[in-house]
Amino acid sequence: MSQFEVFAPAKVNLALHVTGQREDGYHLLDSLVAFAPVGDMLQLSPAESLSLKVTGPESRGVPEGPENLVLKAAALYGPGPGAAIHLDKCLPAASGIGGGSSDAAAALRGMAALRDVALASGAAVVKLGADVPMCLDPRPARTEGIGEELTPVALPPLPAVLVNPRVEVSTPAVFKALASKTNPAMEPIPAFVEAADCIAWLARQRNDLQPPAVALAPVIAEVLAALSALPGCKLARMSGSGATCFGLFESDAAAEAAQAQLAAAQPGWWSAHGALGDQAAKAAPRLR
């Protein structure tokens, strides 16, 4: 049987409006998500049973036991051929860019390829995490519901810098700290031609989780200020429930130079650069 390699791209919420709350406590969201060319990498090899090894620069504190979302995802396919899974962690955990969720989605894609069966879908996938459905098909989308209702959106590539100050932020705590849970939805999404049109539209939207996250982890405000001060930064905002923030730039070269300047000024922070957009092709399982 074959071995597969599956890329798990970072998920970035370009805007995230909280529009309500369900009976079960989950919040209703209206978000525009895009995916970065930076992420984790999974390798799946046929084996008797499921096992996981975690390595990589961001592996510290990431569990290798059954609580890892990769094993929870792989187990969704039920009894049958197992897999020895190697996860190379490059995204900081609990950081607002869907690290574990994207890993879970990559595990679902990889196991389906390994067993040559249909990709898992439906409620069991949402149960893994609200971000998992959008990460299953990592291309720009408007996400509604709790994050499982997806409408594809055509976006121009958005040159970006991602920055995390290495402070873990609890997603539930941020939602809990929201001042209001019923806020206006995003504006209708037009057909963007240039990145500049998309950035101008984004500037009129929000991340409603940003104020409570900044209150819980004030360093996020420093990250936003540092991004905004970089040459060519057109928009700086937190992604998801944080602490990772993104800056959008007028060109790939400007984003690359900005990330180098920021990394020199803040060597203790995690940062990366790349164009946000459609990573579906890059994230497809590849035979090794």
Ligand X SMILES: Nc1ncnc2c1ncn2[C@@H]1O[C@H](COP(=O)(O)OP(=O)(O)OP(=O)(O)O)[C@@H](O)[C@H]1O
Restricting to residues 149-168, name those near ligand CDM by CB under 6 A.
Answer: none
Which of ligand CDM, ligand X, none binds 69 (CB below 5-8 Å, type-dependent)?
A: ligand X
Largest CA distance in the chain: 54
CB of 177 to ligand X, least distance (A): 14
Active site (annotated) includes residue 53: no
Active site (annotated) includes residue 252: no
DSSP H helices, 42-145, are 69-75, 99-115, 123-128, 132-136
Taking the C-alpha atoms of residue 8 and residue 272, their distance in angstroms, rounded to an integer, is: 15
Residues 227, 255 contacting (CB under 8 angstroms):
no
Is 97 annotated among the ligand-binding residues? yes
Taking the C-alpha atoms of residue 159 and residue 278, their distance in angstroms, rounded to an integer, is: 13
The two tokens of residue 184 are 């206006």
CA proximity to 93, closest of 243, 246, 261: 243
Q: What is the DSSP string of 48-92?
A: SS-EEEEESTT-TT---STTSHHHHHHHTT-SS-EEEEEEE--SP
Is 228 annotated among the ligand-binding residues? no
Residues 57, 91 contacting (CB under 8 angstroms):
no
142 binding ligand CDM? (CB under 6 A): no
Count of residues binding ligand CDM (CB under 6 A)?
A: 17
Is 100 annotated among the ligand-binding residues? yes
Q: Given the rule CB under 6 A, which of 22-30, 56-64, 223-231, 252-260 is the region that contacts ligand CDM? A: 22-30
35 binding ligand CDM? (CB under 6 A): no
Supply the DSSP symbol for 120: P
102 binding ligand CDM? (CB under 6 A): no
CB of 174 to ligand X, least distance (A): 9
Select from 29, 71, 107, 113 the one that contacts ligand CDM (CB under 6 A). Answer: 29
Q: Given the rule CB under 6 A, which of 25-33, 34-42, 250-258, 260-268 is the region that contacts ligand CDM? A: 25-33
Which of ligand CDM, ligand X, none binds 95 (CB below 5-8 Å, type-dependent)?
A: ligand X
Which of ligand X, ligand CDM, none binds 258 (CB below 5-8 Å, type-dependent)?
A: none
CB of 261 to ligand X, least distance (A): 26
Instruction: Give φ, ψ of 225 to 5 degrees.
Output: -65, -40
Taking the C-alpha atoms of residue 167 and residue 206, their distance in angstroms, rounded to an integer, is: 22
Return left, alpha or beta for 124; rule: phi > 0 is left, psi -120 to 50 is alpha, else beta: alpha
Which of ligand CDM, ligand X, none binds 94 (CB below 5-8 Å, type-dependent)?
A: ligand X
Site residues (vs ligand CDM, CB under 6 A): 13, 16, 26-27, 29, 31, 101, 129-131, 146-147, 171-172, 175, 240-241
Which residues contribute to the annotated binding site for ATP?
Answer: 92-102
Catalytic residues: 11, 131
